[in-house]
Amino acid sequence: MDRIEVNGYSEIIENAKLTDSDVQKMLDGIMPNYLLREGLCGRDISKWDLSELSPKFFRKLCFDSNTKFSKEQIQKFNPEKLLKMVKNPSQDICRLHSQGITGQGLKVAVIDTNIDSKHEIFLNRNIHMKSSNNMGEAEAHGLTVVSALSQIVPSAQIDYYPYDKNDKKNKDNIREEIIDEIIESGIKIISMSSSFDSEDIRKRVLEKCKKAGVTLIDQPAFVEHFTFCFRDINENGEEHFEEAFMEPETASLSEANWEEYQALLKKYSVEDRKSLSEKIKLDSNIKEEVRTIILKRLENFGELLVCKSYEGEGGVRHISKKKTIQEEIERKKGEEKPIEIHCGGRTFASPDG
């Protein structure tokens, strides 16, 4: 597939060719997977060569109502019909709805990035936007979360609490204050896709939630109790689920590279990540904010120790994928089975499509 590098990410050029093999490599973690996320949204792909892309693999990509297709692509993939067809949650959820289990009387709080309070998702839905002084810029992630939740429990009340994820200095304290407010409101379920940078603050928050009988589903809790799977829906609307796996958290790997890591080892005359972390903690020349960022990256990207490239066959993404699949197999052997969440084959709200 033809590509150019843009800001550290691999950007598809105008007349790219996309095949089943390319998509499979994205699924396997061998190639960057942004086309599985938001890569085709709002993009004109009418000149792309998709002759070797099957409808099955097209359905694994992420596109929206503003993606521009050629007449031949529309005839082959029928994207508009697919968007409408997968607005419904899975057939299991629909069976619950048919039994009257729709979340009636349930209140849920969502803590996520800021979203447009005038978005059409707020029309005819019981969703309440809670304003604050630290909301940050509007982003797409929160819309994805709240639209999925409103599809699954359409009769529930959803209180949405936005926060500024870029406020590195205050975001832990801001989210703790939000959770205090939610606990005071009497809501018993909180969804928060992120985690606290400070483990001490997270422990304190979890203790507050436990005392109040509140369930907090943050990122660490999700990793512990849930897993991903992909729902495929064929042209007849029949669904099936592929083998579940926990997707490795590698979205920010482009921020760290082997050369940077090696340069730090050389600068501080150390040989391993643990010694490097200790040296950086003691370095008075590094400002506290920058020191925190570097240490966090070293913690998150420890697998750079075993691979010089985070892309390509054998890269960190591929290693992470194999590792997490093996972990998933072990989890399924245990007493507590992970709850499977389908992350693909769904339609979500987006800012403009």
Residue 311: other Cβ atoms inside 10 A: 18
Q: Per DSSP, what are the bridge partners of residue 340?
A: 227
Number of alpha helices (DSSP H) and beta strands (DSSP E) in the chain: 13, 10
| pLDDT-derived band at 31, boundaries 50, 70, 90 | low
CA distance 256 to 302: 10
Tell me which H or E stretch contains 161.
Answer: strand 157-163
Residue 258 banded pLDDT, cuts 50, 70, 90: low
* Dihedral sign, Cα of residue 45, residue 46, residue 48, residue 53: positive
**Per the structure block, which two tokens stand in for 277?**
């972390």
Given pLDDT bands bounded at 50, 70 and 90, which one contains residue 321? low
pLDDT digit string, tens, across residues 37-50: 777 888 889 989 89
Sign (positive or negative) of CA dihedral 4, 9, 13, 14: negative
Q: What is the pLDDT of residue 7?
A: 35
Region of poorest pLDDT, from 2-11, 57-66, 201-210, 255-264: 2-11
Delimit the domains of the chain by residue range.
Answer: 3-85, 91-228+340-344, 250-337
User: Quick one: pLDDT band at residue 157, thresholds 50, 70, 90?
Assistant: very high
Predicted confidence (pLDDT) at residue 15 exceeds the cutoff of 80: no
Residue written as token pair 């803590």? 111
Q: What span, in angstroms and rounded, lies between the C-alpha atoms of 195 and 224?
A: 13
Least confident of 60-69, 153-162, 164-173: 164-173
Can you give the pTM of this predicted structure? 0.71
For residue 321, what are its two tokens? 């994928």
Average pLDDT, integer, range 235-239:
79
In sequence order, the β-bridge partners of residue 109 are 159, 190
Pick the CATH number of 91-228+340-344 from 3.40.50.300, 3.40.50.20, 3.30.470.20, 3.40.50.200: 3.40.50.200
Helix residue ranges per DSSP H, 7-50: 20-27
Longest dimension (CA), the chain: 65
Q: What is the pLDDT of residues 276-303, one digit of tens each?
A: 888 888 888 887 777 777 777 676 555 5
Contact 179, 111 (CB under 8 A): yes
H or E, element range at 288: helix 288-300
d(CA 72, CA 209): 54
d(CA 154, CA 264): 51
* The residue type at 94: C
DSSP state of 308: S
First to last CA, the chain: 27
Assess contact for 169 and 288: CB atoms under 8 A.
Answer: no
pLDDT of residue 29: 62
